[in-house]
Chains A and B, each alone.
Chain A
Amino acid sequence: QSALTQPPSASGSPGQSVTISCTGTSSDVGGYNYVSWYQQHPGKAPKLMIYEVAKRPSGVPDRFSGSKSGSTASLTVSGLQAEDEADYYCSSLAGNDYVFGAGTKVTVL
């Protein structure tokens, strides 16, 4: 059982927006502004998309945005494109541990 709770799936049509939630506790998501989001295509390594809740690494499109309220973080993908179809994982510092969610499969309809 993963420490952070994500919905198993989400979907949207091209051009639409999809939002993925990541729910933790005050010991992880709620206690630190160190939430990251990773995109993983089948058979590939995870790719960092968002760090420190809402910051984007260089090269990540601004269609990807992050936010947090209390112990729930969210990733929004706006203007969905076919290449956005992938698994997305959230993560957070949790004291002397580092925890991930179980992942959300995003399908572009």
Chain B
Amino acid sequence: QLQLQESGPGLLKPSETLSLTCTVSGDSIRSSSYYWSWIRQPPGKGLEWIATIYFSGTTYYKPSLKSRVTISVDTSKEQFSLNLSSVTAADTAVYYCARHLACGGSGSCTFDYWGQGTLVTVSS
């Protein structure tokens, strides 16, 4: 059974860089069928896709966040990571990592497995 586990600091100050890691277990991050994503949810609000990466390093970013976001993958550790720079209070959210099925071809273009989420608070 696939499991995803987020880890990283829970409290940041404004202007700092958010860094989170997602550890994948129960399946290989190098599987050709899957992509790996970050999604966030501000307290009491809806979901927002942030970025997606393929094990080869191909990346996709939400246009409105692209200037501040970097997603990377470490296949040797079965991990992928998120960096979000210059954070503000608006970046306070639960951050989820998720497995994404490809869009196009035989892919279903959906997020089928999610981690439990980690709350990141930005406050001075």
Contact = CB atoms under 8 A, between A and B. Distances in A.
A48 B96 CA distance: 14
Chain A interface size range:
20 to 34
A100 interface: yes
A52 B108 contact: yes
B47 A96 contact: no
Contact of A34 (B48, B110, B117): B110
Contacts of B47: 38, 46, 89, 91, 100, 103
Contact of A45 (B52, B62, B103, B114): B114
B60 A96 contact: yes
B46 A48 contact: no
Q: Which secondary structure dominates chain B's binding surface?
A: loop
B63 interface: yes
A98 B49 contact: yes
Interface of A: 2, 32, 34, 36, 38, 44-48, 51-52, 55, 57, 89, 91, 93, 96-103
B110 A100 contact: no
A93 B48 CA distance: 12
Chain B interface size range:
20 to 34
Given A46-B96, A97-B62, A101-B46, 11 more contacts: A32-B103, A34-B110, A36-B111, A38-B111, A45-B114, A45-B117, A46-B114, A48-B111, A52-B109, A96-B60, A102-B45
A100 B46 contact: yes
A100 B116 CA distance: 19
B115 interface: yes
B79 to A, nearest CB: 18
B104 to A, nearest CB: 9
A29 to B, nearest CB: 13
Contact of A100 (B48, B103, B115, B117): B48
A47 B98 CA distance: 11
